[in-house]
Chain A
Amino acid sequence: MKIQKNYVNIIKVIFAVAVLLIPFYITNTYALKIICNVMLYSIIALSVNLIVGFCGQLDFGRAAFAGLGAYFSAVTFNRLGLPFIVCFLGGAIFAALIGCLLGILCRYTSFDYLTLITIGFSEICRKFFINWRPITNGAFGLSTKRPSFFGVTLASHQSMFYFSLILLILCYIVIRRITRSKVGRAFKAIRDDSIAASYAGIDVPNYKVLCFVIGSFFTGLAGAAMVHYTMFTAPTNYTLDESIIMLQMAILGGLGSLPGSIVGAAILIIAPEISRSFYNYRLLFMGIMMVVLMLFAPKGIMGDGGLKDQLVAFVKKNWSKRARKGEHAGV
């Protein structure tokens, strides 16, 4: 057993080194761009997972919060000339404030109404992105600059890779800590049975608001990082379809599983890039995947009792059978 554990640790270290050195052996900027996108979308998928997977609030308006963070950060960076880190965190905090507002609206609402309110909220935000031309430059979109720290601009894709990686690791650790704290357990209790949770002394409405605040903070953070990475944004990036893709990343990876969100984001970003010729049928594949996943593995790939667990159980069962057969033959 101990030797096996050592093997696992060695594999983990090798994997970590391999990830750290990606910019040295993948020099293709297109591939690097996709990897950066995967990491930034992973942060969004993590925040979706926090809201949908841990707190059980089906939110269809995540893209709007990425948009709020992105626009706030880009506009303050372009117009006010504040240091990058201020605008960047400002975007996230702005998204969190709006998330707080949404949470307060949804505090006492039940399932369907919450979904509808989040859709309405994202539509309202999108209309503001399109129509508030003096600030957002309307449907033409908004350009901005690369991030810079203390006068050093992260111009190359390699530096952006490390920026996104550090951001992802930080967000992952923080969200992991949250989900394993008292707050995270309260979220899970609300998800499993909100009536029982309220009898256990959990302040359900306020925890829901807290969940929206934390989730929106990370969504806004990722949105702000994305706009400074691509240096351009437009209202078409923040539609309902985009929200559903973000939701799908968390669901494909497995609701309630944090590594799963990263896997889900990776699959849903890389798959359309590989199959460019099928671009028109992207939504068809996504639809089929959604239905098939819900029918056969509603817990996703890495979730509790999801595809991975089923596969492991299947392999173990068959291996033990073979082992038993072998013993039999030996006797």
Chain B
Amino acid sequence: MFFQHLVNALSVGSVYALLAIGYNMVYGILEKLNFAHGDVYAVGCFVTYTLMLWQIHPVLAILAGMLVGFVLNLIVERFAYRPVRNAGRIVPTISAVGIAYIMRNFIQAIWGAETYPFSLGFELKSINIGGVVIGTLQLYILAIAIILMVLISMALKYTKWGQSIICISQSIPTAALMGIPVNKVIAMVYGIGAALGVIGGILFCSYYQFIFMGIGFSYGTMKAWMAAIWGGIGSLKGSIIGAMVLGLSEIFVSAYVSSAYKDVFVWLIFIVFILIRPKGMFPAEIAEKI
């Protein structure tokens, strides 16, 4: 049983990891709480869901969903985040909460508040190794998460855009003085973050085989945020490991301690952890802003 729990925990963790990568990219650069991340990509997931109902190939549908998430977050960034970027910390946070509500209600208005079954249409096989069942989908999810992480870290390191993103995360005024188009790059980061979120959201939905309007906030933003802080703000490697730790603690608490009080214990572990080590497990190597 222990190994089965371990496998389940790692697969839940890899789903969270996909969500956390997109979140952490935006969060790590601007250090602004992005409450709307989950609800914005949920719109993209619903678009994918509708396109797949129209018998469009899943890959095309996912690409279209990513495009919708990308464009939507560009619009949101332009009208709700950019004007308040320099207005302290409370103002942008509340603005993002407002966007989250608008997006959730938008989904409710168009698709309704029901829970729909969701499947990518692939045949789901499972491998049995000595009594431990591993789904192929879980392996795919883990592989996709790791590939994305490697791709993004390489892009950050070796491309001009990546270097300008890192420069902006250190100091926006300096980046602007060096001739980096700050507004363009930040908008791009938000867009890419949402597009990655759509991939994560769709894999989340296909793992749990349902889709409903609340996937954005409680399963998306909160889990991604916890994983991002657990792993270290702005660190991509950290967000994957943080997500794994989150998955492990959720599955093992509900298996061995109490399933009714699962969230209580997970939050307690989390609060104690961030009180002891507030920078997370892998703090990004960026000088602290005062």
Contact = CB atoms under 8 A, between A and B. Distances in A.
Given A131-B261, A284-B102, A287-B105, A244 B97 contact: yes
Interface stretch (B163-171, B184-192, B271-279): B271-279
A105 B103 CA distance: 33
Contacts, number: 106
A284 B97 CA distance: 11
A21 interface: no
Contacts of B83: 295
Contacts of B91: 294, 298
Interface string A87-112: 00000000000000000010001111
Interface string B74-103: 000001100110010111111101111111
Contacts of A121: 267, 271
Interface stretch (A32-40, A122-130, A181-189, A200-208): A122-130
A287 B271 contact: no
Contacts of B244: none
B264 to A, nearest CB: 5
B275 to A, nearest CB: 6
B98 A290 contact: yes
Q: Is the interface of B mostly helix, strand, loop or mixed?
A: helix
Contacts of A280: 105, 108-109
A58 interface: yes
Contacts of A291: 79-80, 95, 98-99, 102
A178 to B, nearest CB: 21
B264 A127 contact: yes
Given A284-B106, A294-B94, A116 B101 contact: no
Given A105-B275, A295-B84, A52 B267 contact: no
A113 interface: yes
Interface string A124-156: 100110010000000000000000000000000
B290 interface: yes
A46 interface: no
B101 A290 contact: yes
Contacts of A255: 90
Contacts of B275: 105, 109
A115 B102 contact: no
A117 interface: yes
B127 interface: no
A58 B90 contact: yes
A113 B92 CA distance: 16
B223 interface: no
B270 interface: yes
A52 B79 CA distance: 25
A111 B109 contact: no
19 contacts: A109-B278, A112-B33, A113-B274, A115-B93, A116-B274, A117-B274, A123-B263, A124-B263, A128-B264, A131-B261, A247-B94, A281-B109, A283-B104, A287-B97, A287-B102, A287-B103, A288-B98, A290-B97, A291-B102
Q: Which 8 A-B pairs have the closest CB atoms?
A: A290-B98, A287-B101, A284-B105, A287-B102, A291-B98, A120-B267, A294-B95, A287-B98
